[in-house]
Structure 1
Amino acid sequence: MDQLLLVFTGGTIGSIATGRQIDVRSSVSSELVDRYLQRAGEHAPQLTTMQPFNILSENLLPQDWIVLKESIADQQPERYSGIIITHGTDTLAYSAAALSYLFHDTRVPIVMIASNYPLADPRSRGVQNLEAAIAFICNERLPGVFVCFENKQGEALLHLGSRIRQSAPFTDEYESAYGLPFGQMKDGCFHPVEHAVNPKLEQLTPLSRSLLPQDAAFTTDVVYIQPYPGLDYSYYSFDQANRPQAILHDLYHSATAGTRSDREGRYSLPAFIHRCRQAGIPVYLCPFKEENAQLYATSSVLLEAGAIPLRGITSEAALVKLMLAYGTPSLHPIAATWVQHTTLLHEHIAASAAR
């Protein structure tokens, strides 16, 4: 019989609604298991449970990823057929990216699940997501970090942890980079989405050793900026005592941002990049076009100003990767090079489009 480790961290899937307020409650974790066992009956695998912390995911901090990683490592993951982590929806994409880096060498499947509604709500798909995740682990046994989440069309989609994007406002739906999930669960069977940007199943093989140093940690000294018309960079003023280690600047879909010059350089990203470089603060751009792609003149100006482009990676994964690179003491001297050239993901294959 398969034995799975079920890790509870809180979130809506671990919450209860009282009136118009939703908040976490430890007892809901056992309710999730009970509801699943009622559906699975004698076909259920053996479940071992643990709860490293119990919070709404909007309150999650990067150091919680290390707590989660160490808690799982203490349980000797190789003893299990797979690991399932319940999580809140708000920061699921960031945690999925973090765990993809931290467990890039995993030999067992790690699947994250969530729910947009508490279990008692008829609209909740928490139990169904758990059921699909268990079927995926037991039937496929693919090493890596994944997210299993049923959309409003009733499709139980599997996303690579390094590619899932933040849940969309208004629809509360998830999508992956390139608009393609890794696959879908149907009647307990996994159906991969075959496409050039997705790794083939046979390519998901565990590494022989970890590529992360022992002192891996995350820092919050990374500033994330999103472009919008009229973004005034004069509001970002850093001095030697109060400055980030790096800046991630998101881009419009065309890999562009404002370069319009003015006397003070208030609305010019190139001027801001120049000012940051003088202060010793690297500025990363994401998501950027591939090297052989045509660029708008504004994109070229950003590169000429000294920005570091990050290609083939989501903003969520890029932000987490920067937090890891600049938060790990042994990586800090080579952080810029590490961020650009490593592929510390569970898909770790040369043919993969993800970084």
Structure 2
Amino acid sequence: LKSGFKSYLIHKRILNAGLKNAIQKLELKLEGNEPVSKLSALEKCLVLLLKAVVAGVRLVIIKDISNYLSAAELVLFHKLIRYYCGEGLSFLYICNHHEEAFQICDRIALMENGKIIKVLDHKEFTDDKIKPYCKDFYDIKNPETKKVHKKKILQLQNISTGHIRDLSFSVEKGECTVLLDMNNTILMDIIDLMNGALTPVSGSILLDGEPYLGKKPSYALKKGVCFINEYPLQTMVFKDLGYFENLIFLLNRKQWNLHLRKRLLWSIAQEYMPMVGESIHVKEVSALPPAVLYSMIYNRVHLYNPKVVFCIQPFSGADMYLRMHIIYLIQELKKKGITVIILAVSLSDSLVVADRLMVIENGQLSKDYDSSKFIWFRS
């Protein structure tokens, strides 16, 4: 509504006319009567952006949008940003990766510990200009996975759901595979299939050569399937438990010989002490820094030693140093022989640690790349 609107009654006809006027130059379709719950992620972002435009704001702040939109949606949203920049609107684009900022920004301010340490103009958007400020990150090496037997640990065969269309792929034991969902439609279905919340319309799943018939989350854990959620500090830290109790949380689901319990717990403490230090004795985990808590969560999975772990958008909300730490933690899972499947809507830094990339478009497997082809995505 315009600022001069005086009526007490707001008619849908007036609102729809205003919406049509606002989007007619954007070459996008948006139905004014559609419930927000049925809008796509891109459409929801468009609604929020239009609210700002209609309200006459002059600065829009966008934060971590690539964690929410798929790669295809992000391209379209960047076009919207450029259009409104041309109309005189300014944007403050906050993200944790310079490659994303290169795609859309006119200037970039590099920040560390709350201070701006370098400002780059558009002509300086090159890796050579960035490297001095993140040299340690560029030095990360991904150890090659040894494929001796090439055993298939997970197989999806002609799976169909509400969003998945006749999807088939296999993942080999011990490798790290990225599933890149270009349309941001199937990741939730994959998660629900594996934790038993969703039954496929057709097709079958094999885990380690056996039919996988998950009907509840406890089945997944029993069969050796774990999940590390997006933003795990919000959902996977038990603040009423100490660090060690958090670390061994999954072991309580296993049947241990009670006579060995004290000896077992002592052995675990001795094994993980060199990795986590004195934090293992902390009783109040809420005060621990994010990197320590991430270590606790990933080491919980490392200790449980599942066959497969699904990491959901593992780099969401993480700064450069935390991303480096997460990469190290994923590499530690790989060293133990745990198969890692990264579910993502954007590549972020997934390829730094991955052995394979599978691209999913419109619910189907579109492309499959091994690590020798990753250079295509970095050029």
Query: What TM-score does the superposition give when structure 2 sets the normalisation length?
Result: 0.31
Bigger RCO (CA 8 Å, 6+ sep): 2
* Structure with the higher helix share, 1 or 2: 2
* Structure ID, larger Rg: 2
Query: What TM-score does the superposition give when structure 1 sets the normalisation length?
Result: 0.32
